[in-house]
Amino acid sequence: MSSITEPGSVGIVETKYFTFAEPPNELQLESGKKLGPITLAYEMYGEMNEDKSNCILILHALSGDAHVAGKHHPDDRKPGWWDSMVGPGKAFDTTKYCVICSNVIGGCKGSTGPSSIDPATGKPYGLRFPIVTIADMVNAQKHLIDHLGIKQLFCVVGGSMGGMQALQWAVSYPDMVKLAIPIATTARLSAQAIAFNAVGRHAIMADPNFAGGDYYGKQIPSAGLRIARMIGHITYLSDKSMHRKFGRGLQDKTAPSYDFGTEFQVESYLNYQGDEFVKRFDANSYLYITKAMDYFDLSQPSGDLKKELSRVKAAFLVISFSSDWLFPPYMSKEIVTALRRNNVDVTYTEIQSDYGHDAFLLETDTLTNLIVNFLEYADQRDNGF
């Protein structure tokens, strides 16, 4: 990692890679299948203290990756996806904490996924890649954390699918998680969310270029992936934010054209989001990651969320957003209620915001205040104050 290039920046960062689960020690997946070898792409910011007790694991959402903060090259257009929250003096202060983030298995940004080479065939896995779950993603991350010599994570934190992983970490490895911050998330996906994911997958698989998932080295199913992203992106916004940003405004026109071209500003915006997504994301990864989200249900196998959360030991800060209709506040409250019934130390905040689900990426100031206070309180409590 280079020296800081501007105030609050972690500077130029480098993605690292960790490979494990070499045969015959493959990772056992929830589906019953095995996967290996596995490579995880990850990034680290800040320095570990002597006993490695200051490590924070940030967990990314569906379209995220390991690149949370900083830039890979000085001429990069954009920094990491949560750059506003990670760095010197920010919510996750890299002068105090060592921040880690890895790309999930099933992803397409350096970690083993359907676009990776299957050692059995020498070709990309495609749909021969096994189905993975949120728990599988966390179990893979556990191997990375062990490799780094970390006995307990000071905090696990993430928004959306990242929040699911944070919850899973606290359940699967209770002794390894001191603090957990699930943001704009849920303990189980709703029928509505599963439906949106299903439509996105159908759009991809109906693309003539999908070729049963074996499109690598050929024309990619860009039209299907583009539609999937457009559908998904609508769920990340809110009615109020879309009205404020676009209204019924026409794109470079003062009157309708009375045809089926792109006319409204909101249409142009969705087209742009779809086009940009196709440039950086693999269609098969979209299938696998959305399916992992669909399967996520922390109330299982008993069907009782309180019972399944009874073994957690972390203190929690649970955050929701008032206009989030993908994972509305009642879902966070359900988590909070189950935790409180288990006498877990939990703080809950519903942030008033018009940004919808995307608020976890945009409400920087409010999130920073909440998170800094939560982390500092934990430090003070440990020091006997």
| Strand 98-102 versus strand 38-45 pairing type | antiparallel
Find out if CATH 2.70.70.10 is the number for domain 194-290: no
Long-range contacts of range 115-120, CB-CB < 8 Å, 24 or more positions apart?
A: 115/216, 115/282, 115/284, 115/285, 116/39, 119/37
The percentage of the chain sitting over the pLDDT mark of 90, rounded to a whole number, equals 93
pLDDT at res. 208: 98
Cα angle: 365, vertex 367, 369; to 5 degrees: 70
Token duo for residue 36: 């290996």
pLDDT of residue 312: 98
Q: What DSSP letter does each residue of 40-73 carry, written as one string?
A: EEEEEES---TTS--EEEEE--TT--S--SSBSS
Q: How confident is the model at residue 374 (pLDDT cuts 50, 70, 90)?
A: very high
Report how far residue 220's alpha carbon sits from residue 273's, in angstroms, rounded to the nearest whole number: 17
4, pLDDT greater than 50: no
Residue 5 pLDDT? 56
Residue showing tokens 């019972």: 307
Strands 27-28 and 34-35, sheet pairing? antiparallel
Question: Tokens representing 80?
Answer: 């990491």
- Residue 377: pLDDT band (50, 70, 90) is confident
Contact call for residues 44 and 16 (beta carbons, < 8 A): yes
Question: CA of 15: how far to CAs of 103, 115, 268, 317, in Å?
Answer: 10, 18, 33, 29
CATH of region 16-190+296-382, choose from 3.65.10.10, 1.10.240.10, 3.40.50.1820, 3.40.50.2300: 3.40.50.1820
What letter does residue 302 receive in the DSSP assignment?
Answer: T
What per-residue confidence (pLDDT) applies to 383? 61
In whole angstroms, how large is the CA radius of gyration of the chain? 21
Q: What is the pLDDT of residue 1?
A: 41
pLDDT (tens digit per residue) in 339-351: 999 999 999 999 9
- Does residue 384 surpass a pLDDT of 70? no
Tokens in use for 67? 């690149």
Bridge partner residues of 19 (DSSP) = 39
172-229 pLDDT, tens digit each:
999 999 999 999 999 999 999 999 999 999 999 999 999 999 999 999 999 999 999 9
Q: Is it true that 16-190+296-382 and 194-290 share their CATH fold?
A: no
Tell me what pLDDT residue 7 has.
76
Exposure string for 208-220, b = 16+ CB within 10 A, e = fewer: eebeebebbeeeb
Residue 2 has what pLDDT? 41
**Residue 79: pLDDT over 70:** yes
pLDDT at 325 over 70: yes
d(CA 361, CA 358): 6
How far is 169 from 267, CA to CA, in rounded Å? 39
Average pLDDT, the chain: 95
Instruction: Give the tens place of pLDDT for each residue, 268-323.
Output: 999 999 999 999 999 999 999 999 999 999 999 999 999 999 999 999 999 999 99
Nearest to 40 by CA among 85, 83, 104: 104
Q: Where are the domains of the chain?
A: 16-190+296-382, 194-290
Tokens representing 115 are 């676009």
Per-residue pLDDT of 123-145, as tens digits, reads: 999 999 999 999 999 999 999 99
Q: Which residues contact 220 (CB under 8 A, 6 or more apart)?
A: 209, 278, 283
Active site residue ranges: 160, 324, 357
CB under 8 Å, gap of 24 or more: what pairs does 32-39 form?
A: 33/130, 33/131, 34/130, 35/105, 35/112, 35/130, 35/132, 37/112, 37/119, 38/105, 38/111, 38/112, 38/140, 38/143, 39/110, 39/111, 39/112, 39/116
Specify the pLDDT at position 385: 44
